[in-house]
Amino acid sequence: MAEVKIFSGTNSQYLAGKVAYYYGKELGKVSIQRFADSEISVNYEESVRGCDLFLVQSTFPNADNLMELLLMIDAARRASAHYVVAVIPYYGYARQDRKDRPRVAIGAKLVANMLTAAGADRVMTLDLHAGQIQGFFDIPVDHLEGTSVFVPYLKEKNIDNLIFASPDVGGVSRVRRFASFFDADIVICDKQRKVANQIASMQLIGDVKDANVVLVDDMIDTGGTICKAAELILEKGAKSVRAVATHPVFSYKAHEIISNSVFEEVIVSDSIPLRQDNPKVKVISVAELFAHAIGRIRDNGSISTLFINYQQKLKF
């Protein structure tokens, strides 16, 4: 069987190192240099001929992260790698998954095209903003779920009278899946926007009186939406509010907004590195989850065995 090697782009080394550790390998050596005009050059410092390569790189801003990944894939192909897997814990541009108004780009599809054109054989990612993005690829996509790490954490806290909430109508299916592991009810925050990142109005659908509520989303960007939803939930009589969000984008003043919020805690993964410490933010690593997924691919095993399904929920 081909040898497995794990490499990382510049800004995902904090996670890739842990993935390699859990897999039982040293992180591979790759040189990523920049010319004076910021042009990127990639060079593998060890042979990858005939190897199965797993290239770990989240595509969070700025665009250099995506460009690094594309160049790493291309360099691997030109160095005669046997199999190239793009491991993308956070898939950027996923919010641009459709034409929701005239004359806009579908960024998620464009990124899929570029990854395929660069030479990736497979993509592995975590909690896409929209699950249908998997269909943008003509190569296999392994879509891992944050429930695998978040549900056990919440189970251990043994929170009583638990209700799960969606900060918008589009996240209902995600919240319903979380709630199924706890036999809990769900509520929905129905929001209206006039422009991106600005909420015109919000109302709560459902009863949260005397409940401990967990808001569930795939990402937190500026923090405005989810913090406003938390305030609304408390106003409606909830005892406490927590948040679970896989990707801590945390743009603009998100850290400040969350620090001053009514949340008891905000639970996120390390798919994106936190820019600063925040006492309200609890980070749960997905490194071991990705390491197990790499092992399944290596051994032609089942990725679905890494998911928590409804029948397994009572085992936690």
Q: Among 1-10, 85-94, 304-313, which stretch is predicted with the lowest mean pLDDT?
A: 304-313
59 neighbors 90 (Cβ within 8 angstroms)? yes
Which is nearest to 28 in space by CA: 92, 76, 78?
76
Encoded tokens for 64: 């250099």
| Average pLDDT over the chain, rounded to an integer | 92
Write out the H or E segment, with its range, that includes residue 298. Answer: helix 287-298
Predicted pLDDT at 138:
96
Residue 148 has pLDDT above 70, yes or no: yes
Encoded tokens for 156: 């251990």
Q: What mean pLDDT do residues 279-299 have?
A: 96
Predicted pLDDT at 196:
58
Predicted pLDDT at 202:
84
Predicted pLDDT at 313:
43
Tens-place pLDDT, residues 238-276: 999 999 999 999 998 999 999 999 999 999 999 999 988
Predicted pLDDT at 312:
46
CA 267 to chain centre: 13
Q: Which residues contact 173 (CB under 8 A, 6 or more apart)?
A: none
The DSSP symbol for 133 reads G
Residue 316 has pLDDT above 50, yes or no: no
Tens-place pLDDT, residues 81-108: 999 999 999 999 999 999 988 999 999 9
Residue 311 has pLDDT above 60, yes or no: no
- What are the C-alpha distances in Å from 145 to residues 39, 61, 244, 248? 34, 22, 13, 15
Out of 3.20.20.70, 3.40.50.2020, 3.40.50.2300, 1.10.3720.10, select the CATH number for domain 147-284: 3.40.50.2020
Determine how many CB atoms are found less than 10 A away from the CB of residue 156: 9
Encoded tokens for 284: 């749960």
Common-topology check for domains 4-145+287-306 and 147-284? yes
In 24-103, which ranges are continuous DSSP H helix?
64-78
- Provide the residue ranges of all domains of the chain, joining segments of one domain with +: 4-145+287-306, 147-284
Residue 134 has pLDDT above 90, yes or no: yes
Pairing of strands 122-126, 185-195: unpaired
Predicted pLDDT at 201:
73
Which is nearest to 7 in space by CA: 62, 45, 59?
45
C-alpha span between 255 and 119 (Å, rounded): 37
- What are the C-alpha distances in Å from 261 to residues 188, 238, 266, 282? 19, 15, 10, 15
Tell me the percentage of the chain whose pLDDT exceeds 70: 95
Q: What mean pLDDT do residues 191-204 have?
A: 67
2 or 305, which is more confident? 2
CATH fold for domain 4-145+287-306: Rossmann fold (3.40.50)
Catalytic center residues: 191
The 3-class secondary structure across 255-274, one letter per residue, is HHHHHCCCCCCEEEECCCCC
Tracing tokens 């793009």 back to the chain, one arrives at 86
Tracing tokens 């948040």 back to the chain, one arrives at 243
Predicted pLDDT at 225:
87
Fill in the amino acid letter for 167. Answer: P
Write out the H or E segment, with its range, that includes residue 245. Answer: strand 240-248
pTM: 0.92
Predicted pLDDT at 309:
56
Max intra-chain CA distance, the chain: 61
Tens-place pLDDT, residues 167-186: 988 889 999 999 999 999 99
C-alpha span between 239 and 212 (Å, rounded): 5
Tens-place pLDDT, residues 200-221: 578 999 999 999 999 999 999 9
Length of the chain: 316
Tens-place pLDDT, residues 40-85: 999 999 999 999 999 999 999 889 999 999 999 999 999 999 999 9
Angle at CA of residue 219, ends 119 and 55, nearest 5°: 25
